[in-house]
Structure 1
């Protein structure tokens, strides 16, 4: 067994002038209290889940918040607060400002890096695995080392409901270690892993999306695959249903997203306990039980 969370090795890009900046610099990993930015002008670099959440929290206290990102307009939540200024990622820093690609600059007191994490396994012997463009090899089903099949990784897949999926991965690992699962040959596992990776590239995904599960129903398909191989029932459809609901609402109603509560009422049904907050899709909230 080897449990490794990918949210442990923070990534901060090397930006020109970073050492000159005299204001506060932190990575989102160490963000705790938005009150610490009271009255400050803050630049947030990166705007996926952490960047969205942190910028909205800080905006309650900061003098000004600028979120710097390269997401496409159609990918960015239209419900994001308009008072938070959006700019492209800055390319240089001075002692008291950030400089954007067009040469314009903005004075800021603090910078929060919501720039994600990088896989790192410093406790493994050199040569046991390789990591290139955030793709880990040689592993099968994002968890089993192809050459050393009693070495099982937890925490590699990104963007999925972690607790239910890790529970299923644990069931798979237990059965594998007990000798109750027969894996394909090493050649077949390598070929299957490579085919999956190439399929992602053909979809237009960048190489760093080798282990992402958050788009479409990819996580459900992944769970179904390991359940079939392990000989047990996959997760109930309601897990994907709630995930879809939350992602839809996050896009259309991001300010209230964290105030939703759900009750699972069956394998394929759930109930929203806070329908008054679901402003973007009232029909879902009114259909108290979705099936």
Structure 2
């Protein structure tokens, strides 16, 4: 199996999903088994809102999916209530800002919310699309796919007619995600140049050879002994 985590130490082994556990023996989906002394459950974040009553109309399925939310922000049953920052696998700070501006625009009259039935229709279409893409319930708020992230940024900004996230933030996030999957991002400093461009500068690791697309090589320069790429 291909490692999901790049450059694992030699004393660590990455295994596929667990199929079953019998005593101290753990069986995996690839048919292998290992003896385990300790098992640590990595459940990820769980959504919990104990301060909300049933009257709020919010349901949290399996502690992973908060619904029903219009654009994954506005409580359809009580549209003066919002949830900021449920999503993951995207540039969270920029997204928090976009979602906050979206919600404020519904309160100050800049963007009047559609009818309740229209919001439900949009919500159901959004969930159906995620299920069609193979997104399971536990990752409903996850933006695992680039097309999902890009579509969400555009949808939120366009719907409320508010300023978009600067392209440089989105492009830099995607590049960092790509480099992270290769185990390279810790060696690079990412610097914003403008709303559309950013620089990648090596941090002094002389033996590091970054992998970049061939069409980017022409933009490579050396400044003070460090390689720099402009995107």
TM-score (norm 2): 0.79
Match of 2:176 among 242, 246, 254: 246
Q: Which moved more, 1:85-94 or 1:201-210?
A: 85-94
Matches within 5 A, 1:166-185: 166-185=96-115
Q: Counterpart of 1:250 in 2: which secondary structure?
A: helix
The answer (yes or no) to whether the contact 1:271–1:290 under 8 Å persists in 2 is yes
- Residue 100 of structure 1: aligned partner: 27
Unaligned runs of 5+ in 1: 1-72
Aligned partners of 2:189 and 2:202 also within 8 Å:
yes
Partner secondary structure for residue 35 of structure 2: strand
Shift of 1:235: 0.7
Distance 2:33 2:155 in 1: 50
Matched residue, 2:87: 157
Match of 2:194 in 1: 266
Q: What is the deviation of 1:245?
A: 1.0
Q: 2:67 aligns with which of 126, 137, 144?
A: 137
- Residues 36-72 of structure 1, C-alpha deviation per residue, up to 9 Å, x if partnerless? xxxxxxxxxxxxxxxxxxxxxxxxxxxxxxxxxxxxx
- TM superposition shift of 1:289: 4.7
Q: Any idea what SS the aligned residue of 1:261 has?
A: strand
- Deviation of 1:104 (Å): 4.0
Contact map agreement 1:264 1:270 (CA 8 A) in 2: yes
Change (3 A) 1:250 1:80: farther
**Which consecutive unaligned segments of at least 5 residues does structure 2 have?**
221-227
1:187–1:84 distance in 2 versus 1, CA, 3 Å: same
Query: Following TM superposition, by how much is the alpha carbon of 1:98 offset from its aligned partner in structure 2, in angstroms?
Result: 4.8
Alpha-carbon distance in 1 for matches of 2:3, 2:113: 38
Q: Which 10-residue stretch deviates more, 222-231 or 237-246?
A: 222-231
Would the aligned equivalents of 1:249 and 1:281 in 2 still touch at CA under 8 Å?
no
Supply the distance in 1 between the matched residues of 2:80 and 2:138 (Cα, whole angstroms): 26
Partner-residue secondary structure (3-state), 2:88: coil
Q: Which residue of 2 aligns with 1:280?
A: 211
Change (3 A) 1:172 1:114: same
Q: Structure 1 residues 205, 282: CA separation in 2 closer, same or farther (over 3 Å shift)? A: closer
Q: Does 1:191 align with 2:118?
A: no
How many residues in Structure 1 have an aligned counterpart in Structure 2? Answer: 214
Partner of 2:48: 120
Cα separation, partners in 2 of 1:82 and 1:177, compared to 1, 3 Å: same
Where 1:271 maps in the other structure, the secondary structure is strand
Q: Report the CA distance shift for 1:181/1:107 in structure 2 as closer, same or farther (over 3 A).
A: closer
Offset, 1:168: 1.4
Identify which of structures 1 and 2 has the higher relative contact order when contacts are C-alpha pairs closer than 8 Å and 6+ apart. 1
C-alpha displacement of 1:194: 0.7
Q: CA RMSD in A?
A: 2.7
